[in-house]
């Protein structure tokens, strides 16, 4: 990880945001909040730091920020937006008041996002965007769920094995991946391969592992902590159980409890 002091990190982030036409509206100890057209967003300094790797080049910051700030001329109408509207998961402490959300426990929440079919960017959906499209929140959540079900099926799942336990993951690098855990079609999609209910981790928005709920959950400890500490898109080290009762938190891995 590059050794950038906090002042330089904030300056690089602010410069990169402004180069993309964004207006910085608040700088806190942990993140920079900004506005781009009708879009409001927040980027954590630690996420940007991790994206640099060994190259603290401002161009790297611009590319990272572009992941979250697609052009403001896109998705201005409901016809443009409705096929790209999907479910996502986000940390509650980074969700702004005008972001529609459904809390899961005390740490994360379901959110609405705009992700193109290539999965190459993520854009938060706001209440004002829904109003501009003339769409009520209930319909937006239903459309997002339908799109997430479709993309989950299109992407498919693959498996790997650790300590004799088969672990499954979605075959995509998109930032919408964690949101698939909240999709209504998850049961039908995974039950014949993984089983049902399932236990899952989503230490980053683009990293999900799933196992049968009857398997040894401890095998998920090391990947949960390792990915959470290294990913620029870190989410949570909590453990999810997804069942007919929905998605809920059943535990959490911490660095001192992980198993290698």
Considering the entire predicted model, what is its pTM? 0.81
Is the CB of residue 129 less than 8 Å from the CB of residue 245? no
Give the pLDDT band (50/70/90) at residue 55.
Answer: low
| pLDDT of 73 | 54
What are 247's two structure tokens?
A: 């998605």
Question: Would the pLDDT of 68 be above 70?
Answer: no
Question: In percent, how much of the chain has pLDDT > 70?
Answer: 88
Question: Would the pLDDT of 26 be above 90?
Answer: no
Question: Would the pLDDT of 3 be above 70?
Answer: no
Residue ranges per structural domain of the chain:
1-69, 156-252
Is the CB of residue 136 less than 8 Å from the CB of residue 144? no
| pLDDT of 1 | 38
Contacts 24+ apart (CB under 8 A), 26-34: 31/94, 33/96
Encode pLDDT of 224-256 as tens digits: 999 998 887 889 999 999 999 999 999 999 987
Give the pLDDT band (50/70/90) at residue 216.
Answer: very high
Question: In percent, how much of the chain has pLDDT > 90?
Answer: 55
Q: Tell me the C-alpha distance between 127 and 229, whole Å.
A: 32
Give helix then strand counts, H and E, for the chain.
8, 13
CA dihedral (71, 118, 65, 19) positive or negative: negative
- Cα–chain-centroid distance for residue 129? 19
Pick from 25-29, 58-62, 84-88, 101-105: least confident: 58-62
Encode pLDDT of 140-157 as tens digits: 999 999 999 999 999 999
| pLDDT of 2 | 41
Instruction: Choose among 149, 64, 148, 77: nearest CA to 112.
Output: 148
| pLDDT of 149 | 98
Q: Tell me the C-alpha distance between 43 and 226, whole Å.
A: 21
Widest CA span in the chain = 51
Give the pLDDT band (50/70/90) at residue 260.
Answer: very low
């Amino acid at each position: 990880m590059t050794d950038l002091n906090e002042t330089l990190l904030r300056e690089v982030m602010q410069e990169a945001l402004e180069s993309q036409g964004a207006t910085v509206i608040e700088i806190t100890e942990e993140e920079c909040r900004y506005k781009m057209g009708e879009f409001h967003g927040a980027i954590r300094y630690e996420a940007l730091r991790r994206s640099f790797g060994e190259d603290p080049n401002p161009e790297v910051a611009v590319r990272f920020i572009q992941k979250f700030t697609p052009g403001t001329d896109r998705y201005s109408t409901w016809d443009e937006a409705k096929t790209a509207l999907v479910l996502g998961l986000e940390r509650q402490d980074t969700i702004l008041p005008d972001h529609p959300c459904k809390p899961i426990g005390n740490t994360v929440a379901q959110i609405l996002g705009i992700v193109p079919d290539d999965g190459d960017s993520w854009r938060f959906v706001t209440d004002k965007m829904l109003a501009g499209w003339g769409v009520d929140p209930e319909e937006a959540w239903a459309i997002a769920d339908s799109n997430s079900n479709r993309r989950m099926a299109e992407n498919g799942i693959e498996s790997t094995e650790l300590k004799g336990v088969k672990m499954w993951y979605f075959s995509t690098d998109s930032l919408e991946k964690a949101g698939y855990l909240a999709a209504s079609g998850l049961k039908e999609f995974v039950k014949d391969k993984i089983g049902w209910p399932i236990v899952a981790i989503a230490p980053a928005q683009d990293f999900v592992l799933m196992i049968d709920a009857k398997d040894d959950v401890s095998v998920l400890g090391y990947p949960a902590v390792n990915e959470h500490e290294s990913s620029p898109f870190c989410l949570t080290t909590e453990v999810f159980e997804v069942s007919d009762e929905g998605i809920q938190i059943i535990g959490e891995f911490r660095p001192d409890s992980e198993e290698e």
